[in-house]
Each structure stands twice: as C-alpha cells, then as structure tokens.
Amino acid sequence: MMVDQHGPADVLSHSQLLDQGERAAVALAKLGVRPGDQVAVLLPMSLESVVVTLACIRLEARRLTLPLGDHLGFIRHRLRTSGARVVITAGSCAVDGTVRDIKSGLDRALWACPEVHSVLVVQQVPRPVPWVPGRDVWWHEALAAGPVPGGPYAGAMSSSTDQPLDQSADRAQGRPQAGSAAPVPPAALIFDDPLDRRSADDSDQGWGERPAADGARGDLLRFLEEKPPHHL
C-alpha cells in the first residue's frame, strides 16, 4: 500500500518546540513506551529528531539512533538485540544530496523483527511511502492528539500503567500524592542564561568587601593564598 503526504513546517519557535516534545511524549506513551525502553530512530538531522530526543527525556526512555543508507543487516541486528518495539523513521529524505526512500528499506529490515509493533513515519520529502495498515502511523497525526489536559502525559501514562489518572496528573504537576513525603517537581527544560543569576558558590566576598570578622587581615590572607598567585 502506498500513500502520499506532505511534510511539516521546518521552523518552530521555542515554545512550539517544547509543545511538540510533550505531544511526542504523549504519542509514545500511548504506544506503550515506558521508562528504560528503547525507541529506535531512523531520521536525518532535523527538527523531528530533536523533538524525539525531548520526548525520550520526558519519558525516561532511551533513544536508539539507527544509520541512514544501505545498512539493513545492521539495522535488523540492532532492532532485534535492543528489544525496541517502536521505530520512528523518515518516509524519504535527502542523504548526501540524494533523495532516498528510507521507509522501504526499513520495511525490509522489519521482516525479521516481529517485536516491532509500531512505526511512526515522518515524511520530509513529498513522495509515496510503502504502508503497513495497523502498524504504521503518520508522525503528524500521532502528535495531533496533543498533550492531555492535566499534564504532558497524564492521560497517556494512566492508560499505559495501572496507576489512576488523578495520581498521574498529580505527579505530572508536582502535587503531593498519598503516602508521598514531598511534592515531586514537574519535568522541565530550562533555557535561561546561567550568567543572569548568582552562582551557587559565589560568597560575594570580593577584595573591596571586607568581612566584619577578620577585616584587612582576612583580605591579606586571601590575597597571599590565592591560586594561581596572580600577584607574583
């Protein structure tokens, strides 16, 4: 079966990138990906590849990067030995200036990998893609479901584990749970500038600020013991 689908936009803002990471985490959780699981990735350097990495961080899953090109034997070996059950692949993409049908090669490798039950397809080049109904899913359609209200993966994680939905939402938002000693802070990616805030080891005792305890004598000792000795 061959289907055709145009690829997504190639520009994302910071907030859009984080949102895509959360959506991808929800999609992977719905496919049964749990902490420690391998997620096989057959993508070139692209925004989708970054989003997959963010999703794996969110779920505490491990990303297994597979090589592009004619490496079917190696790909088959890596899939079988890793235990990966979900693969994220490009439909077609440019490799060394040549457009290659990545998905068709992956399908040949998957003949000997019955444990792989889901393939998310990112179409970067508008070309027909071989399709296996029931196994293959468009990347953009999987992400369209979006983050579940109440947390990045409150609903997805509750459907793939035995924990109630309200406990999953509490954990995702950092609220105290029954029997929990302290709130669990929500997962977050911080992109602020570390130079904008005070260093954790900054005592703020510069040469022109004498402590009340030792005064000028303390300044002299710090000056003489400074390493490296800039005064020499």
Domain boundaries, the chain: 2-147, 205-232
Return left, alpha or beta for 15; rule: phi > 0 is left, psi -120 to 50 is alpha, else beta: alpha
- Residue 69 confidence class, pLDDT cut points 50, 70, 90: confident
Structure confidence by residue, pLDDT tens digits, 184-205:
555 555 666 666 666 555 555 4
Indicate if the pLDDT at residue 179 is higher than 60: no
Q: How far from the centroid of its chain's Cα atoms is residue 12's Cα?
A: 16
pTM of the model: 0.62
Q: If you ran DSSP here, which 8-state letter would residue 91 be given?
A: S
Query: Residue 209, Cβ neighbours under 10 Å: how many?
Result: 9
| 105 contacts: CB under 8 Å, gap ≥ 6 | 70, 72, 75
R_g of the chain, CA atoms, integer Å: 25
Mean pLDDT of 42-48: 91
pLDDT of 178 above 70: no
In the block, which residue shows the tokens 């925004």?
47
pLDDT at residue 228 in the model = 59
2-147: CATH, from 3.40.50.300, 1.10.10.1110, 3.40.47.10, 3.40.50.980: 3.40.50.980
Judge contact between 160 and 34, C-beta under 8 A: yes
Query: What pLDDT, in 10s, does the model give residues 75-103?
Result: 999 999 999 999 999 998 887 778 888 99
Q: Which residue has the higher pLDDT, 11 or 152?
A: 11
* 131-135, 159-163, 225-229 — most confident range: 131-135
φ/ψ region of 79 (left if φ > 0, alpha if ψ in -120 to 50, else beta) reads alpha
Q: What is the pLDDT of residue 175?
A: 46
Q: For the chain, give the mean pLDDT.
A: 75
Percent of the chain with pLDDT over 90: 40
C-alpha to C-alpha distance for 131 and 121, rounded to whole angstroms: 9
Overall size of the chain counted in residues: 232
Q: Which of 136, 131, 103, 89 is nearest to 2 (CA)?
A: 131
